[in-house]
A and B are shown apart, each in its own frame.
Chain A
Amino acid sequence: MDLHEFKAKRLLSGYGIASPEGRVAVTADEAAGAAKELGGAVYVKAQIHAGDRAKAGGVKKAESPAEARKIADELLGKKLVTPQTGPAGHAVKRVLIESAVRAQKEIYLSMMVDALDASIVVLGGKGGSGIEDRAAHGKGLESLHLGLNGERKAGDIAGFCKRLGFTGAEAEKLAATVKNMHRAFIELDASLIEINPLVFNEKGEMVALDAKIVLDDNALFRHPDLAGLREEDEVDAIELKAQQHQINFMQMDGNIGIVVNGAGLGLATLDMVRAAGGEPANFMDIRTTARSLDIAQGIGLVLDNPKVKVILVNVYGGGMQPCDTIIEGLGIAFRRKGRILPLVLRVTGNNEDIARVRIESFGLPKTQSTDMWQAATRAVAIAQGRA
């Protein structure tokens, strides 16, 4: 689960990591009011789930409440396109109004899980915008590996701060921030915390000017308070609905609806459809824990997509989820949506015979195949009007 900047900062402040004073605004008037309350120069920052906002005009300085109102008015309700959003961009529904800080030194600091050696890797370097380009070339970043309890060896964090070029009181403050961030990482069950930039203000205090947190969805069961932070309006509503029904789903641009169980088989199916010259309308991975009614909800999402011309079902029924469970869900979804679309089915594995009998009762135009490549090419032919 991705958290907006203002929520990430609020959480970090609970761990002793300070941010400039700020207010969230959803209208231009609120933005002006917030700027007035804060006094002095402020930054108006679009709250979207993507980085590289400054380059796209999503972060602007305002010297007066009137200017803050103008900038907020320009941003709110607009779609912001940054290098990380994709061409469609992300709608700006909130802006964060924050006191401008005269930054002395800019530091980039992030923490994430290093799957290879099951540690938490800390990356640090010279911060500010442009870190993406430098880091992409592997330049200018120092790393440090921490365990669940912090340093693997005494002095690891101090050494890291030194490598980043800090000494004396500044190094101590940075070390304290690294420790606080690590505690936040563990206690929040985070999978990423990133502060960029982390700066020293006029008083020599460390302040996080921008922050991002990604929480481990699999651990939200033990953080009911954090689960409530999810911005339902921002997460793609379709993907979220699928998640609630034990299905991983991503909307794509094509016209071939994809119904698959398992992530690997799902990816392989996209690859085959593309190799056959077709364009998938979605990625789908029905998890083994999904029951037929969940599956019906997931397939309903595919049927809701007006672009879809054909449904390709590629299912290998395993132990937990036999073929007939998925076909039952398919039947329910079609009956509910009342849409008639050609079906191309490759259904094999546990209970495939029962599944075949069920499919007969759907009354839909269909092709059944025992080979998934044949099924993929057939679906592509139908989508392109060749069959």
Chain B
Amino acid sequence: MTILVDQNTRVLCQGMTGWAGTYHTYRMIQYGTNVVAGVTPGKGGKPHLDVPVFNTVKEAVAETKANASCIFVPPANAAAAMIEAIEAELPLVVVVTERVPVLDMMRVREVLKGSKTKLVGPNSQGVLAPEICQIGVMATDRSKKGGIGVASRSASLTSEIVAQLTAHGLGQSTTVGIGGDAVHGIGFVDCLELFFADPETKGVVLIGEIGGNEEESAADYLKKAGLKKPVVALVAGKYAPPARRMGHAGTLTMHASGNAEAKMTTLKEAGVVIASSAHLVGETMSELLAKRAA
């Protein structure tokens, strides 16, 4: 099985008629994703890529029973597009748009609270269930259907690690890009919960990096809920150049999260196996599963 998407996922694309929307919607359709509608205000009624286009998400859902959205809307209007999709009660909204203002994301998070939507992103490469459904812009050529769940904060690094997993004979149940922005939708914890609940996912890979609190939250969750399946993590950025600082050091230390070492330590304490380098993630998972089987 997969998480978030499956063979019954019916996708609508917000911002489908722009150049990025057009290009990626075409790729998604080629991949086999069931794209049932596009939404661009003012362009309703004119099909695009042989897909019907609507003025609003609500209309599109009513007409096509879409149950997921992929958002390509530019930053200035991305938050409004997310809110429209959440208010239309779409169960899954994937946001590819980069550079959304952080206060706009706070507004989205307020609307998200208590809603029926799982928001992925913004600044996400998307969600991929190999050979079943692609929502987003990721490379798909080296992905393969299988039993590893992947949750990550970084797009191109995910493609690399998916390729490694496939090379080690490990297909993927679903890959989820939670996005690179500070304020975002679902995180590592949500992904772990979903992967643990999915009987076909045999192991989980977390691709983290410095900054933010995703890795710390994941470790806290695993310490409380228990490590139900093998988890391998990579934390990139051990040797990152120090960011230019302006605020008082203390404030930033208190609220910025730990460095790569601290993140690795807390994940290790939760039972996660740390891949020592980005090129060793596939190998680390493969060895871990072999050890478990033995």
A: residues with CB less than 8 A from B are 2, 49-52, 83-84, 86, 108, 110, 112-116, 118-121, 123, 131-136, 138, 141, 147-148, 186, 189, 191-192, 194, 196, 212, 214, 216-219, 221-222, 250, 252, 260-265, 267-275, 280, 283, 287-289, 315-320, 348-350, 371-373
Contacts and interface: CB of A to CB of B under 8 A. Distances in A.
A212 B246 contact: yes
B130 to A, nearest CB: 15
A196 B249 CA distance: 13
17 contacts: A49-B244, A112-B251, A136-B250, A136-B253, A196-B248, A222-B76, A261-B156, A263-B154, A265-B154, A265-B156, A265-B278, A268-B157, A272-B278, A316-B159, A318-B137, A318-B156, A350-B141
A147 B109 CA distance: 11
Interface residues of B, number: 67
B247 A192 contact: yes
Contacts of B251: 110, 112, 123, 131, 135, 194
Given A262-B154, A320-B24, A349 B141 contact: yes
A319 B137 contact: yes
Contacts of A219: 101-104
Contact of A113 (B24, B102, B245, B279): B102
Contacts of B138: 318-319
B183 A113 contact: yes
A49 B246 contact: yes
Contacts of B278: 265, 268-269, 271-272, 372
Interface stretch (B56-64, B194-202, B205-213): B205-213
A350 B156 CA distance: 11
Interface in B237-294: 237-242, 244-251, 253-255, 277-280
Contact of A288 (B76, B98, B107, B183): B98
Nearest to A276: B277
B237 A372 contact: no
B191 to A, nearest CB: 16
Contacts of A148: 103, 106-107, 110
A219 B240 CA distance: 26
A271 B106 contact: no
Given A270-B239, A283-B240, A263 B180 contact: yes
B180 to A, nearest CB: 6
A134 B250 contact: yes
Interface string B65-96: 00000000001100000000000000000000
B281 to A, nearest CB: 10
Interface in B184-231: 207, 209-210, 212-213, 217
A373 B250 contact: no
Interface centre among A49, A135, A189, A263, by most chain B C-beta atoms within 10 angstroms, is A263
B210 to A, nearest CB: 7
Contacts of B139: 316-319, 349-350
Nearest to A279: B239
Given A217-B99, A219-B101, 13 more contacts: A83-B249, A113-B106, A113-B183, A141-B250, A141-B254, A264-B153, A268-B234, A270-B237, A280-B239, A318-B125, A350-B139, A372-B160, A372-B278
A138 B283 CA distance: 40
Contacts of B244: 2, 49
B145 interface: no
Contacts of B240: 267, 270, 283
Interface in B117-146: 125, 136-139, 141-142
B245 A218 contact: no
A218 B99 contact: yes
B156 A316 contact: yes
Contacts of B100: 218
B249 A84 contact: yes
Contacts of A2: 244, 246
A280 B24 CA distance: 34
A121 B110 CA distance: 16
A214 B256 CA distance: 15
Given A84-B245, A134-B250, A186-B103, A318 B279 contact: no
Contacts of B159: 316, 318, 349
Contacts of B98: 287-289
A216 B246 contact: no
A193 B238 CA distance: 28
Contacts of A288: 98, 137, 155
Nearest to B159: A316
Contact of A372 (B23, B183, B207, B279): B279
